[in-house]
Structure 1
Amino acid sequence: MSVKYKIRDQTKLHFVTFSVVEWIDVFTRNIYKDVLIESLTYCQKYKGLVVYAWCIMTNHVHLIISSEDGFKQEDILRDLKKHTSKKLIKLIKDNPQESRKNWMLWLFSSAGKRNSNNKDFQFWQQDNHPIELNSNEMMDQKLTYIHNNPVEAGIVDEAENYLYSSARDYSGRTGMIKISFIQ
Structure 2
Amino acid sequence: MKNPEGMYFVTFSVVFWIDVFIRARYKEIFVESLRFCITNKGLQVHAWCLMTSHVHLIISAEEPEKTQLSDIIRDLKKYTAQQIIREIENGPESRREWLLDKFAFAAKSNSRNTSYQFWQQNNHAEELFSNNFIDQKLQYIHQNPVEDGWVEEPEHYLYSSARDYAGTQGLVPVVLIE
* TM, length-normalised to structure 2: 0.97
1:104 match: 99
Q: Secondary structure at the match of 2:118?
A: coil
Confirm or deny that 1:39 pairs with 2:25. no
State the 4+ residue runs in structure 1 displaced beyond 6 angstroms. Answer: none
Q: Secondary structure at the match of 1:160?
A: helix
Work out the CA distance in 2 between the residues paired with 1:139 and 1:10.
17
Letter matched to residue 122 of structure 1: Q
Instruction: Extract unaligned runs of 5+ from structure 2.
Output: none
- In the TM superposition, 1:159-178 aligns within 5 A as 159-178=154-173
Which residue of the other structure, out of 84, 91, 98, is the alignment partner of 2:80? 84
For residues 62-119 of structure 1, the C-alpha deviation after alignment (integer angstroms, 9 at most, x for no partner) is: 00000022111100000000001100000011112x1111111100000011111100
Work out the CA distance in 2 between the residues paired with 1:134 and 1:114.
35
- In the TM superposition, 1:149-168 aligns within 5 A as 149-168=144-163
For residues 103-159 of structure 1, the C-alpha deviation after alignment (integer angstroms, 9 at most, x for no partner) is: 111000000111111000000000000000000000000000000000111111111
2:113 match: 118
* TM, length-normalised to structure 1: 0.95
Instruction: Extract unaligned runs of 5+ from structure 1.
Output: 1-6
Confirm or deny that 1:49 pairs with 2:49. no
Structure 1 residue 10, shift from structure 2 partner: 1.3
Considering only aligned residues, what root-mean-square deviation do their CA atoms show, in Å? 0.6
Letter matched to residue 148 of structure 1: Q
1:17 match: 11
Work out the CA distance in 2 between the residues paired with 1:45 and 1:174.
17
Which residue of the other structure, out of 52, 60, 68, is the alignment partner of 2:62? 68
**What percentage of residue pairs aligned between the two structures are identical?**
55
Letter matched to residue 71 of structure 1: T
